[in-house]
Amino acid sequence: MLAETTVPAAASLVLKVAVTDNTGARFLYSAGGATFKALNAEPVDIAFLPPWDRAVRIALMAKGPATQQAFFKKFIVNNRSGNGLPGRRCNRAGARP
């Protein structure tokens, strides 16, 4: 397990993955989306992955009793390359912009 934390009850919980230089991944969360807190203090080293396998893959999962449900309102992937070129955005909650 990478990290575990208890988050305050909020109307929405925003999760973010930030990949730097294709070698490090940081995981962050925000109750409300304004201020983010890191789950892992140091970036996770992903340099061991071959270059063709470093594309970020994201999965949303919920753990708990079968009688409980989890709802994911929105799923957005932003690609910000850092090279000055515009990134691509894919919003799975609706149509592609």
Q: Is residue 30 assigned to a domain? A: yes
Q: How many domains does the chain have?
A: 1
Ramachandran sector of residue 64 (left: φ over 0; alpha: ψ -120 to 50; beta: rest)? left
Q: Is the pLDDT of residue 1 over 80?
A: no
Confidence of residue 87 (pLDDT cuts 50, 70, 90): very low
Q: Is residue 78 assigned to a domain? A: yes
Q: Is residue 17 assigned to a domain? A: yes
Q: Could you read off the pLDDT of 2-46 as tens digits, one per residue?
A: 777 887 777 788 888 888 887 888 888 888 888 889 988 888 888
Total-model pTM: 0.63
Q: Is residue 29 assigned to a domain? A: yes
Q: Is residue 3 assigned to a domain? A: no
> So what's the pLDDT on residue 82?
54
Q: Which residues contact 11 (CB under 8 A, 6 or more apart)?
A: 32
Q: Is residue 25 assigned to a domain? A: yes
Q: Could you read off the pLDDT of 55-84 as tens digits, one per residue?
A: 667 777 778 898 988 887 877 777 666 544
Ramachandran sector of residue 26 (left: φ over 0; alpha: ψ -120 to 50; beta: rest)? beta
Q: Is residue 8 assigned to a domain? A: no
Q: Is residue 76 assigned to a domain? A: yes
Task: Report whether 46 contacts 25 (CB < 8 A).
Answer: yes
**Which residues constitute the domain of residue 51?**
13-91
